Structure 1
Amino acid sequence: MHRITATYRTHAGNFPNKVAIQVMDESLCYRDWYERVEKTASWFNVFNTSNQTVGILMPNGIPFLQLFAGAAAAGWIAVPFDIKWREEEIQKRLALSSPFVLLTTKELYERVKHLHPNIQVWEPSCLEKVSEIDRVGQAGSGDIPFYLGFTSGSTGEPKAFIRSHQSWIASFECNLYDFHIDANDHVLIPGALIHSHFLYGAISTLYLGGTVYVLEKFSVSQTLSILENEPISIVYFVPTMIEALLREEEVIERPVKIISSGAKWEPDSKRRIPEVFRDVSMYEFYGASELSFVTFLSHRENQLKPNSVGKPFHNVEIQIRTSNGDVAETNEIGKIYIRSDMVFIGYLHPQNRTIRSIHDAEGWVTVDDMGYIDEEGYLYIAGREKNMILYGGINIFPEEVEAVLSQHRDVEYVAVVGMADSYWGQMVAAVIVGAAPKLELKRLCKQHLAAYKVPRKWFFIEEMPLTVSGKIARAQVQEWIERKEGVLLEKQ
């Protein structure tokens, strides 16, 4: 079985009437899901084109998943587009991915019809053109690409990354062996499928034969309603969703397992999770678009190792290397290298359409995160190499300072960057969104950080610049500081 859709036929035979997907008041059993994916794959194969890349610009729902899975089954590359992107953002990503066709809805068509020469409205009637299902072979190399996504990093400029079937199939094994998810689970996906965390959650559930519940868009009330009325055993969350649920002061008594990405998660929020989920087991994971899963941390381990991102998944190797390329000692900070079958193929070069791998000769990959491993094998993230502040010859990771400042309840966003200084080289500068008093923030830093890590300059702004994916646009913050633009209000 070499494709992410290869198990559908087996599921359709073993439990044809079991619900595969539930979206609001519409459901699809495995027999119908398998037939629909196969027919969609046949529809793709009707096109006589060497450019087998399809863009999908759709809201959450069965059609989105059907087109994504159908393209994968047909050997095409699927490129999800976010319906919230502005026209300029869509244009940049169309130029990067160059899909043969962009499929969208009737409601979105008028807004985007001028952006690509081949934009089509997808409707169920499209499959009427396929008179007979041409069973698509699922064999072949698992290294063939099926998914093109975008990552923007801190600059805001998108990069296109390519994933193979094998990379996700290897990730599905983590669901079984590390998260202990199987065909008996009912999995809630409350977030947008454009984000790989939620898309992966849905597709991995279907691969394993579970039942997936998809919200059209995140809603606290709908999430709570499904958790209370459906036999949900697994939920894919990001920290902001937990924050929203905590504000409702509802209680879920049923045993629930939470799978969370390693995004910013406030310690107070983690502590309060049992207030909502009385019988919860939780897994946080560290990874990247390029790396997939790297390490994971259970709720119990988080209490023992609160600053760690966990131990490696069962099929992941980690190496910490010093600046001269040597393998680091225990607790020694260096660059994190990963080797696993889950790593992506590479970045798509926008000009010549070639794929640029970042693997070294032995198959190791890094995204330039810095960290260390302790005596028990737990990984700790110090920060990004490119974000390091060089203060008088001492390396300071802004992520460490940001983690401390984020503990203040009145800090909404914080970015710590290096500010040029003729004597020290760089000084630590903190840019804050929120009502936290400067004096309280300085005291907080002095309680948890060495004196040289405490910010020397403080700037308070009304709105933090963010990338499309919601990350802080550090390059723009850095530029503001260097230009000393008026958007920054310095508090001495």
Structure 2
Amino acid sequence: MNGSEVTHSLAPWQRLVHGPLAHWAQQRPDAIAIDDGQQRIRFADLHAAVQQRARALEAQNAPHTRLLDASQSPAALITDFLATNASGRCAALGDKAWSPAQQAQAQQWIDALAATPRSDDQGDPTLQPFYIGFTSGSTGLPKGFRRHHQSWSESFRVCVDSFGQAANGCVMAPGSLSHSLFLFGALQGIWTGGGMQLQPRFSASQCLASLRERATPCLVAVPSQLLVMLQLAERRAIAPVESLELLMISGARWMRQHTPALQALFPNARIVEFYGASESSFIAWMDANADAPPQVVGRAFSNVQLQIRDANMQPLPSGNVGTIWLRSPMLFIDYVGAQADATAALRDGDWLSVRDMGSLDAQGMLTLVGREKRMIVTQGKNLFPEEVEALLCEHPRVAAASVHGVDDALRGKQVWVALQLRDDASPVPGQPPLQPLADAALARELADWCRSQLEAHKCPRRWFSAAPWPQTASGKTDHPKLAQWLADARPSADKAS
């Protein structure tokens, strides 16, 4: 599907991310556009505020790319974002938790963009940048990615097309808007006219209460949030939330053994998980069936083409593992910032790869075996940590796992694993956060668990527990930090062996 075909599939007012706001302000002026727990803003009032702010930006001759103040309230941030777009500008959105060095680096990149001559007065407005988000790069500095309007308006369209009427309703996005998943969920509520519910900071109890009280039909969440909700619901014997119709899970691998409990909490919800990336938007999706193999991520969205290629860029037959390539109208423009980054996406014409490895079966089901950057070569064989981590997380004592390769003269790499245990006590003050697994019986049990289902070279040889468990700002396991902790632990571990 090319750009012109995409444009023709949407009404004119749907083609720009902020475009539907004026439509809904006229059609549903009194409907709630934003509810952030502190204030409720009607579509008519939001449209007026956005237009006023957009006129002010024009009067100030603001740069065509702006780094927004991430410390604003969610409602103020959404208003500023939409106003930036409505004035024909691109909104960059960082993380209020950034260090001063990270903030300065991002501002430097934005200033460099703003200093370039403005060239977006000509051409297709749907292909002009509207958003710069940031994700973690391999250097530890934020890595910016730039999006044009079409990439998200087409994402909104295919979301509604794939998931039905509930995706047209109010969306609960209970996380920081610096995370593109929650920003996407929020803006979907503007695009569809359903409105959004936001939280300045995630609270499982407030999220569940809000879903129930407001009869919100759609929730976008990451797995770590859902697990906290399940634990809270069990601990407090919270009644099922029957109003939810659609639960969309992304951001990390969902542990499907928890799907029955999640379905019990949201008995009328369709629970779907989707695989995507900051550079690509949606790639594949599936219903979160508890009995589905953990590495299967579903079929491609209707506007996505997939291909598995070998190292020589040649397509591979069904069932063979290679690099996942995709083509769609939802791809990003480019990166912002010129730092070297081994995790950067690859381009081949209008095809893109985010360096994930996987396979396609004859029915079009995509299996994600792991990230290229995390692959371990041990005993001359390839090992994808994600496979081992997924298996370990099926064990009832394991909440999270992080598998790494440590240099070994005999094997090339020796497989070590850090675990977050479900019954972990609070960390001991003054004690390093990573410790050898003290429960020898559990270590043996987990080793047997792995040996019963994995090839021998994939089974961890050293076991550690970590508390507190390190996470990124988006709620994912911080694998680089755990790798550093394991490296720091190696001298004492070698001495103990």
Residue 448 of structure 1: SS of its match in structure 2?
Answer: coil
- Identify the residue that residue 75 of structure 2 maps to in structure 1: 62
Question: Residue by residue, what CA displacement relative to the aligned partner does 1:333-385 show, whole Å, maximum 9, x if unpaired?
Answer: 00001111111001113489xxx984312x11111100001121111101111
* Higher mean C-alpha deviation, range 458-467 or range 72-81: 458-467
Answer yes or no: is 1:222 the counterpart of 2:222: no
Pick one of 221, 224, 245 that aligns with 1:237.
221
Match of 2:336 in 1: 348
Is residue 283 from structure 1 mapped to residue 288 from structure 2 by the alignment? no
Contact 2:219–2:244 (8 Å) recurs in 1? no
Q: Is the 8 A contact 1:233 1:256 kept in 2?
A: yes
TM-score in terms of structure 2 length = 0.83
- Over 3 Å counting, the alpha-carbon distance change for 1:448 and 1:305 in structure 2 is closer
Distance 1:138 1:193 in 2: 30
Structure 2 CA distance for partners of 1:5 and 1:487, relative to 1, 3 Å: farther
For structure 1, the 5+ residue unaligned runs are 102-136
Q: Secondary structure at the match of 2:405?
A: strand
- Tell me which residue corresponds to 1:76: 89
1:452 corresponds to which residue?
Answer: 457
Worse-matched range after superposition: 199-208 or 16-25: 16-25
- Is 2:256 aligned against 1:267? yes
User: Residue 440 of structure 1: which of 438, 445, 467 is its match?
Assistant: 445
Out of 250, 257, 266, the residue aligned to residue 246 of structure 2 is 257
SS of equivalent residue, structure 2 residue 40: strand
Residue 148 of structure 2: aligned partner: 164
CA separation in 1, counterparts of 2:495 and 2:213?
A: 51
Aligned-residue RMSD, C-alpha: 2.9
What TM-score do the two structures reach when normalised by structure 1?
A: 0.84
Q: Does 1:429 align with 2:416?
A: yes
Partner of 2:190: 206
CA contact (8 A) 2:255 2:393 kept: yes
**Which one of the candidate residues 361, 364, 374 is aligned to 1:377?**
364
Deviates more, 1:180-189 or 1:413-422: 180-189
- Whether 1:37 and 2:37 are equivalent positions in the alignment is no
The separation in 2 between residues aligned to 1:243 and 1:60, in whole angstroms, is 26
| SS of corresponding position for 2:98 | coil
Once residues 345 and 494 of structure 2 are traced to their aligned partners in structure 1, the CA distance between those partners, rounded to angstroms, is 43
Q: How far did residue 228 of structure 1 move?
A: 1.8
What is the CA-CA distance between 1:388 and the residue it aligns to?
1.3
The 1:414–1:255 alpha-carbon spacing in structure 2 relative to 1, beyond 3 Å, is closer
Q: Which amino acid aligns with 1:312?
A: A
**Alpha-carbon shift at residue 451 of structure 1 (Å):** 1.6
Please say if 1:173 is aligned against 2:157.
yes
Deviations 1:263-296 (A, max 9, x none): 1322332231122112121111000111111001
Q: Which residue of 2 aligns with 1:297?
A: 286
How far the C-alpha of 1:205 sits from its partner, in A, is: 1.3
Counterpart amino acid of residue 327 in structure 1? P
CA–CA separation in structure 2 for the residues paired with 1:99 and 1:62: 28
Unaligned 5+ segments in structure 2 are 1-11, 115-120, 425-438
Instruction: Report the 3-state secondary structure (helix = DSSP H, G, I; strand = E; otherwise coil) of the residue aligned with 1:383.
Output: strand
Cα shift at 1:459: 3.5
Counterpart secondary structure, 1:88: helix
User: 1:234-254: CA deviations, max 9, x gaps?
Assistant: 111111221122122321123
Does the 8 Å CA contact 1:461/1:489 hold for their aligned counterparts?
Answer: no
Deviations along 1:113-143, whole A, 9 cap, x unmatched? xxxxxxxxxxxxxxxxxxxxxxxx9995211
Can you list the C-alpha shifts for 1:38-72, whole angstroms capped at 9, x where unaligned? 22111111123555323222244211100011111
Q: Distance in 2 between matches of 1:212 and 1:186?
A: 5
AA paired with 1:289?
S
Contact 1:389–1:426 (CA under 8 A) maintained in structure 2: yes
- Secondary structure at the counterpart of residue 57 of structure 1: coil
Counterpart CA distance in 1 for 2:473 and 2:241 is: 33
Q: Does 1:416 align with 2:400?
A: no
Q: Secondary structure at the match of 2:187?
A: helix
Q: Give distance in 1, aligned partners of 2:314 and 2:158.
A: 29
Whether the 8 Å contact between 2:67 and 2:94 is mirrored in structure 1 is: no
Helix, strand or coil at the partner of 1:3: coil
Residue equivalent to 1:360: 348
Judging changes above 3 Å, is the alpha-carbon distance between structure 1 residues 414 and 446 closer, same or farther for their aligned structure 2 residues? same
Structure 1 residues 38 and 432: CA distance shift in structure 2, 3 A: same
Local SS of the residue matching 2:30: coil
My pick for the range that moved more, 449-458 or 170-179, is: 449-458
Q: SS state of the match for residue 81, structure 1?
A: coil
Deviation at 1:25, TM superposition (A): 5.0
- Corresponding residue of 1:141: 125
The Cα shift of 1:88 comes to 3.5
Identical aligned residues as a percent: 32
* Distance in 2 separating the partners of 1:26 and 1:480: 43
Matched residue count:
452
Structure 1 residue 309: Cα displacement: 0.6
Q: How far apart, in 2, do the equivalents of 1:35 and 1:100 lie?
A: 29
Distance 1:299 1:421, change over 3 A: closer
Distance in 1, Cα, partners of 2:302 & 2:339:
38
Give the drift of 1:77.
Answer: 1.7
Give the SS at the match of 2:160.
helix
Name the stretch that deviates more: 392-401 or 1-10: 1-10
Residues 369 and 385, structure 1, Cα contact 8 Å, conserved in 2: yes
User: For the residues of structure 1 that align with 2:137 and 2:477, how far apart are their CA atoms?
Assistant: 9
Tell me the CA shift for residue 92 of structure 1: 3.3
CA distance in 1 between partners of 2:160 and 2:472 (Å): 33
* Matching residue of 1:5: 18
Following superposition, the deviation at residue 488 of structure 1 comes to 6.2
2:335 alignment partner, SS class: strand
User: Equivalents in 1 of 2:73, 2:492: separation in Å?
Assistant: 37
